[in-house]
Amino acid sequence: NAGVMQNPRHLVRRRGQEARLRCSPMKGHSHVYWYRQLPEEGLKFMVYLQKENIIDESGMPKERFSAEFPKEGPSILRIQQVVRGDSAAYFCASSPEGTASYEQYFGPGTRLTVT
Amino acid sequence: KQEVTQIPAALSVPEGENLVLNCSFTDSAIYNLQWFRQDPGKGLTSLLLIQSSQREQTSGRLNASLDKSSGRSTLYIAASQPGDSATYLCAVNTGFQKLVFGTGTRLLVSP
């Protein structure tokens, strides 16, 4: 059973470009979470998605950031018009259900560098 | 608002020592608490999950305890090894599926 997969592992974008980060949850998991780890800071929750639904996006910046988890395919975190402050590690996690008793399993992360 | 603090921020010990990492949280209304390990430039590896109804969990040389009422958890590592060197993170789940993370303890175990 493969773990949570994220790609790309490293992504370099120039200021103003778009960044697309992909996350494939563990087999059998239908709940996905995105977290961001800024340099020298802890991980911060961004968004929680179920298939075709955004459950909680309270941690997402109001502009330029969006997330989706379509019926088919991976979850996508999209950052439009990237700025240097978006440089961070973005982690995806998944769980089989949305109840709090379930453990979240994390992927290896995508390290975004904005030049 | 839930806040999670980990002390110490960094710890350096010789191989073979037993050590304790501390995690405290401000709101005792949690569903569970997870301890993770993060190696430099890598993802998070889940070490232990303690449900709110549990007092402790053990896995190999690791033992985690939870005292919800006082807002504290400890991770005990027995007979530390150089391979244990990493950053250890604790995270609480407040029931809304947002894990709130501490800033971690950087552990270095020297041979």
- What per-residue confidence (pLDDT) applies to B1? 87
pLDDT, tens digit, for every residue of A40-66? 788 999 999 998 899 999 999 989 999
Q: Do A106 and B104 touch (CB under 8 A)?
A: no
Q: Give the phi and the psi of residue B59 in degrees, each rounded to 5.
A: -150, 105
Instruction: State the Cα–Cα distance between residues B100 and B111, nearest whole angstrom.
Output: 33
A1 pLDDT above the threshold of 60: no
pLDDT, tens digit, for every residue of B33-66? 999 999 988 889 999 999 999 999 999 999 999 9
Q: Of A5, A45, A48, which to mutate for an interface test with B (greatest number of B Cβ within 10 Å)?
A: A45
Which residues have a Cβ under 8 Å from the Cβ of B48 and sit 6 or more positions away? B34, B35, B57, B58, B59, B62, B64, B75
Tell me which residues of chain A, numbers 54 to 113, contact chain B at a CB-CB cutoff of 8 Å: 55-56, 58-59, 91, 93, 95, 98, 100-101, 103-109, 111
Instruction: State the Cα–Cα distance between residues A7 and A20, nearest whole angstrom.
Output: 9
- What per-residue confidence (pLDDT) applies to A39? 82
- What per-residue confidence (pLDDT) applies to B109? 97
Q: How far apart are the first and last CA of chain A?
A: 37
A88 pLDDT above the threshold of 90: yes
Give me the residues paired with residue B105 across strands: B88
Closest CA to A50 of A102, A4, A97: A97
Q: Do the beta carbons of residue B72 and residue B92 sit within 8 Å?
A: no
Q: Do the beta carbons of residue B109 and residue B14 sit within 8 Å?
A: yes
Peptide bond into A74 cis (omega under 30): no
